[in-house]
Structure 1
């Protein structure tokens, strides 16, 4: 591996799969589906997708667990540094135990910290791109010293960091490679979601900004990408683009993907799996009649 190339880091943000604490929007839509028109929706294969569950909160939590573990397995060989960026902090040991139970290797488990989504994402990038290896983390840093990157892994090299959530479980190494390829010529890369948000964000660090063709990502421009954004609204992607433009950051755009946030999204995913990825049917096996 060339020492001239940035170190490639991937993070997967995930809440622990406690029923009632994760994917509640999906749970509520599944609950409505029992008595509303969604009850009879089927996948393209004709197999009923919704119905037969007893507790929508438990079903949505199990779906989230499967999505997280599936992504960690699919992306186990991606990049040089892989982090499961978990929440809450008191469930990090449970994340670690789940990885062992599922025989998922090669992932560090780190803490998201506190605050809104933007603050937690900003913290992850800030820690990787700007903090020295031996920096002592503050109480609110969200990354304990036990979970910092090993000196041998960092080698004082610049990093290209990509962060995703767990709402697009079919993401693969190809999409990650596209993101890192884009970061070779752009400061920022975004993967837009069809609901107006984004499923992926990546930033390129530079060891020597004076030699960069652009101004590069600074702590000020990093803050602008995550502060003042109307999270969980259809405006997130456009607001992030506007923030990048204000900071003169060059932006690469990946293909648009669908998040799984509602029962209708789940139906779409089931149809996609049936048509294009039958080998991924384990994602939904046994959850529905």
Structure 2
């Protein structure tokens, strides 16, 4: 086992405030602004509760805008969740900032968003175990992105100059991990819910309310 196996793990959940017109905007055409925001809130709380249930380390909500702003009055993060500000810059800059500050503290990091309803405590525990034996862990999504990126080393090339809205995010990230010579575990393919056609990936009990 790697000598870093005993590093504490930090699950960092990146999320927008679930406000109408701000979160899940690509679903507004199907759900309306209020419906899209309500789904964003449900997905956020699902992700946070699964991260807590994993019981593998610290859970941090890295928020935009920052949590003390009025936009976050619609949802209260569960007790025990640490709160941080994503800061300025593109997504890569913000992911790099959150990752580096945790790794500097001697922690391993699992970066997740809130778009994947398949995110679960079991999946997070498995990713943490795989990170004991690898430098990186990734769960790619069918649309070309990734739902989880686990790291126990830092290099900014994993985050900078990436077309975040494209279908090449995961492949570019994997290519750069290879360039670094790092070992990587590629987990099961997952599904994000970003577009109206993705609503079919929601659990049946969710779709009944979303489509009502």
Gaps of 5+ in 1: 31-52, 133-157, 205-216, 275-280
- Structure 1 residue 248 displacement after superposition: 1.2
Q: Which of 110, 116, 121 in structure 1 is aligned with 2:95? A: 121
Secondary structure at the aligned position of 1:195 is classed as: coil
The CA deviation string for residues 161-204 of structure 1, in whole angstroms up to 9 with x for no partner, is 10100001231111111111111111111110000110001111
Number of aligned residues = 208
Q: Which of 94, 105, 108 in structure 2 is aligned with 1:160? A: 108
Residue 174 of structure 1 corresponds to 122
Secondary structure at the aligned position of 2:102 is classed as: helix
Q: Distance in 2 between matches of 1:254 and 1:125?
A: 20
The structure whose residues are more often strand, as a share, is 2
Q: Does 1:255 align with 2:188?
A: yes
Residue 85 of structure 1 corresponds to 62
- Structure 1 residue 258 displacement after superposition: 0.6
- Structure 1 residue 79 displacement after superposition: 2.0
Q: Within 5 Å, which residues of 2 pair with 1:264-283?
A: 264-269=197-202, 273-274=203-204, 281=205, 283=206
Q: Distance in 2 between matches of 1:162 and 1:92?
A: 26
The answer to whether the 8 Å contact 1:199/1:259 transfers is yes
Q: Within 5 Å, which residues of 2 pair with 1:161-240?
A: 161-204=109-152, 217-218=153-154, 222-240=155-173
Residue 6 of structure 1 corresponds to 7
Gaps of 5+ in 2: none
Indicate the RMSD between aligned Cα atoms, in angstroms: 2.1
Secondary structure at the aligned position of 2:63 is classed as: strand
Q: Quickly say closer, same or farther: Cα 1:170–1:4, change in 2 above 3 A.
A: closer
Q: Quickly say closer, same or farther: Cα 1:114–1:73, change in 2 above 3 A.
A: same
TM-score (norm 1): 0.67
- Structure 1 residue 97 displacement after superposition: 7.5
Residue 65 of structure 1 corresponds to 41
The answer to whether the 8 Å contact 2:65/2:71 transfers is no
Structure label with greater radius of gyration: 1
TM-score (norm 2): 0.90
